[in-house]
Amino acid sequence: MNIHEYQAKALLRRFGAPVPSGAAILSASDADAAIASVTGPVWVVKSQIHAGGRGKGKFVEAEAGELGGVRLARSAEEAKSFVQQMFGRTLVTKQTGPAGKQVNRLYVEEGSAIEKEFYLSALVDRTTGGVAFVASTEGGMDIEEVAASHPEKIHTIAIDPATGVMPHHGRTLAKALGLTGDLAKQAEKLSATLYEAFVATDMSMLEINPLIVTEDGQLRCLDAKVSFDSNALYRHPELAELRDLTEEDEKEIEASKYDLAYIALDGTIGCMVNGAGLAMATLDIIKLYGEEPANFLDVGGGASEEKVTAAFKIITADPQVKGILVNIFGGIMKCDVIANGVIAAVKAVGLQVPLVVRLEGTNVEEGKRIIAESGLDVLPADDLDDAAQKIVAAVRGRN
């Protein structure tokens, strides 16, 4: 689960990390109070969306101006005009995709006089099975580009979970960033603070880009991106409340209510499959025959008729879907349950697009019989290859 920058900063502040003061603007009426709470002389107005690259982003609407999603204002009046320009507009950044994201929240914070910008993140490192810091002197820019062009400028500091963060980790971090004296001490303290916050809240990623040195010699977290491990959220009900559903795909939210593993994709063929491996094979074979899948969907091993109906509704609600492929191997899952689920769903929502069903495994004959006798316009398939070719042909026949 991802959260907004202002929420991440509030969390880090609670753990004692150096974060500039600021106030969130959740509705237009919050603007005056939020701006007044920041003393200036520079106010930074920041779009709050779950995507990076906001500074260099562009708004779709001309009224929002050309200045990007993070703006420096020299007066409270200017800050106010930025708020009015950005609120409710659509920001396109390198990470949002071409459609962009609507800015429904803003954050106004005190401007910092920046001397240097660094990159610092903490993540779960699969090779060591522990938390690692990743640091670079090349902050404020795209870290993937730095990793590709100057891999020697990326430093990884692995932390043993048995000891947790130790002073030597902090010293290594300071050295990696070229910090000495008091700034090295601040870096050491920051590493301990961030590690504590990371572990205590079950984060899966924490990215500070940029971490800055101010002109008066202070380390500060100027940006903060936090993701939590969703499997651990049950331990943190207060963090679950930070979830912003407007940032998530509606179909994915609906799927999560039914415990369906669903990921929206860009193509035209909706897929309903049981088992993650079979689902991936299904996406591959659709691509092999020249079309693109509209989603990944694993209905799971023991899906009920209700779950199958919900899955089918989610797929058909997607206007991009021009055809549906149901591919079920009945192991624990029984083919007749799937057949009944599909029929119930088709009856409930109607079928506007071609539907190919491939069933195999437990109760397959019963499943096929139910579908054949349903009177619905379903194209049966013998195997995965046949199914993929049939749905691709059906989708193309419609174009």
Task: Pick the closer one to ligand ADP by CB: 9 or 251.
Answer: 9
Site string for Mg ion, 210-229 (x = CB under 5 A): -------------x------
* Spatial contact of 321 and 294, defined as CB atoms under 8 Å apart: yes
The number of residues that bind Mg ion (CB under 5 A) is: 2
Supply 132's token pair: 């690692």
Selected from 172, 209, 295, 309, the binder of Mg ion by CB under 5 A is 209
Biggest alpha carbon distance in the chain? 80
Choose among 88, 38, 45: nearest CA to 68: 45
Selected from 23, 34, 44, 173, the binder of ligand ADP by CB under 6 A is 44
**Active-site residue (options: 5, 138, 207, 291):** 207
Task: Pick the closer one to Mg ion by CB: 223 or 336.
Answer: 223
Q: Tell me the residue ranges of DSSP E strands in 160-319.
A: 203-214, 219-221, 225-228, 261-264, 269-273, 295-298
Is 140 an interacting residue with respect to ligand ADP (CB under 6 A)? yes
Considering only residues 220 to 239 of the shown chain, the ones binding ligand ADP according to CB under 6 A are 222-223
**Per the annotation, does 295 bind a ligand?**
no
Task: Indicate the helix (H) or strand (E) that contains 115.
Answer: strand 114-125
Selected from 4, 9, 50, 54, the binder of ligand ADP by CB under 6 A is 54
Task: Pick the closer one to Mg ion by CB: 109 or 223.
Answer: 223
**Cα(285)–Cα(237) distance, integer angstroms:** 41
Selected from 2, 48, 96, 112, the binder of ligand ADP by CB under 6 A is 112
Among ligand ADP, Mg ion, none, residue 109 binds (CB under 5-8 Å by kind): ligand ADP
**Per the annotation, does 333 bind a ligand?**
yes
207 is catalytic: yes
* Spatial contact of 354 and 395, defined as CB atoms under 8 Å apart: yes
Name the pairing type of β-strands 155-158 and 130-136.
antiparallel
Residue linked to tokens 């079309």: 291
* Spatial contact of 326 and 367, defined as CB atoms under 8 Å apart: no
Among Mg ion, ligand ADP, none, residue 111 binds (CB under 5-8 Å by kind): ligand ADP
Is 321 an interacting residue with respect to ligand ADP (CB under 6 A)? no
Considering only residues 183 to 222 of the shown chain, the ones binding ligand ADP according to CB under 6 A are 209-210, 222
What is the residue type of 12? L
* Spatial contact of 156 and 132, defined as CB atoms under 8 Å apart: yes
Q: How far is the CB of 137 from ligand ADP (least distance, A)?
A: 14
Name the pairing type of β-strands 295-298 and 203-214.
unpaired
119 is catalytic: yes
Q: Which residues contact 251 (CB under 8 A, 6 or more apart)?
A: 262, 264, 295, 314, 317, 318
Chain residues that interact with ligand ADP, rule: CB under 6 A: 20, 44, 46, 52-55, 70, 109, 111-112, 114, 117, 140, 209-210, 222-223
**Which residue ranges make up the annotated binding site for ATP?**
46, 53-55, 109, 112, 117
Residues with a catalytic annotation lie at 119, 207
